[in-house]
Amino acid sequence: MVAKILDGKSLAQKIQTKLQNQISEKVAQGKRAPGLAVLMVGDNPASAVYVRNKEKSCQKVGMESFSRHFSADATQEELEEAIAQLNQDERVDGILVQLPLPSHLDSVGLLLKILPEKDADGLHPYNLGKLVRQEKGLRSCTPAGVMEILKEYNIDIAGKKAVVVGRSILVGKPIALMLLEENATVTIAHSRTANLAEVTKDADILVAAVGKPEMITADMVKPGAVVIDVGINRIETSEGKGKLVGDVDYQAIKDIASYITPVPGGVGPMTVAMLLQNTYLSYLVSTEKVQS
């Protein structure tokens, strides 16, 4: 068996093309374009790449970008003031604080300052509460992207055993709730889980979201399982070159799984697509309020 590739890159392009058409239609009707604001602090090279990609994606679909770059010594008060201004700016539908932040800043405190209806990342407690209650709302981008991939490839979730390795509020917990919402039987595994390989080998759907390069090995995967790799880790090859790998040993597992996401080109592009989709959904609500 050779696993079928779950191509997140092509799906993300499909979603962005749909958004581009929807936005151009709204603009043709005389409405403003949606707006996304990304706040970046410092000069983290990886963050700079992510922000540039988000800005390019905004431009591609016809969204306005209101990115703001702060120096590494920016204060909590400066950022809170910037968020307050963006909350009041009617051109801005989505706000995102690019992580990681310098250690002197409180990322949770900043998240709480964003209006829930402008929470493009879907991580505000109000939006996470809606997820717990299975109510419509803005969903955390990376887990939402995973669910879109499963849907695109018609992978049956109901009644299946799903194991999520990782319990972060960014990915692990929300993806577990989303899988539960689709009637999977869900187990969350983590660093304290006893006999981890036994737990993961029981999974029909295995989601790896731990941030450890190639931690999930072939002996941890049930033959025919669907393997979703959320990890993006930069390692150095024996030639001294940088290389991106996931949390899954892709080469070993691609001959065991029925479906697998590659790294790069799997879940990563979907995160940005869901960010744009969340912003567009907020825009629709905002423009409906203005009309009414």
What is the value of pTM for the model shown? 0.94
**Pair 263, 145 in one domain:** yes
Q: Is pLDDT at 64 greater than 50 in this prediction?
A: yes
Task: Answer yes or no: is 248 within a domain.
Answer: yes
pLDDT of residue 267: 97
pLDDT of residue 292: 43
Q: Do 188 and 168 touch, CB atoms closer than 8 A? A: no
Residue-wise pLDDT tens digits, 280-289: 999 999 988 6
Q: Is pLDDT at 237 greater than 90 in this prediction?
A: no
pLDDT of residue 50: 85
Cα–Cα nearest to 162, from 144, 193, 187? 187
Residue type at position 218:
A
- Residues near 47 by beta carbon (within 8 Å), at least 6 away in sequence: 40, 98, 99, 100
pLDDT of residue 291: 55
What percent of the chain is predicted at pLDDT more than 70? 99
Q: Which two tokens stand for residue 216?
A: 């999930």
In the predicted model, what is the mean pLDDT of residues 16-43?
97
Pairing of strands 185-189, 161-165: parallel
Q: Is pLDDT at 84 greater than 70 in this prediction?
A: yes
DSSP 123-164: -SHHHHHHHHTT-S----HHHHHHHHHHHHTT---TT-EEEE
Sign for the pseudo-dihedral over CA of 99, 68, 26, 22: negative
What residues are labeled active site?
A: 54, 98, 121
Task: Answer yes or no: is 146 within a domain.
Answer: yes
Q: Considering the chain, what is the average pLDDT of its residues?
A: 95
Task: Answer yes or no: is 65 within a domain.
Answer: yes
Task: Answer yes or no: is 243 within a domain.
Answer: yes
What are the φ/ψ torsions at residue 114 (nearest 5 degrees)? Answer: -75, 135
How many other C-beta atoms are found inside a 10 Å radius of the C-beta of residue 142?
Answer: 23
How far is Cα 118 from Cα 121, in angstroms, rounded to an integer?
9
**Pair 52, 147 in one domain:** no
Domain that holds residue 58: 31-115
Residue-wise pLDDT tens digits, 160-204: 999 999 999 999 999 999 999 999 999 999 989 999 999 999 999
Looking at per-residue pLDDT, the higher value among 45 and 271 belongs to 271
**Pair 40, 77 in one domain:** yes
pLDDT category of residue 290 using cuts at 50, 70 and 90 = low
Indicate which CATH number applies to the domain containing 92.
3.40.50.10860
How many other C-beta atoms are found inside a 10 Å radius of the C-beta of residue 255?
Answer: 12
Q: Do 181 and 151 touch, CB atoms closer than 8 A? A: no
In the predicted model, what is the mean pLDDT of residues 104-110?
96
In the predicted model, what is the mean pLDDT of residues 218-224?
98
Task: Write out the binding residues.
Answer: 166-168, 232
**Pair 164, 249 in one domain:** yes
How far is Cα 193 from Cα 219, in angstroms, rounded to an integer?
16
Looking at per-residue pLDDT, the higher value among 1 and 67 belongs to 67
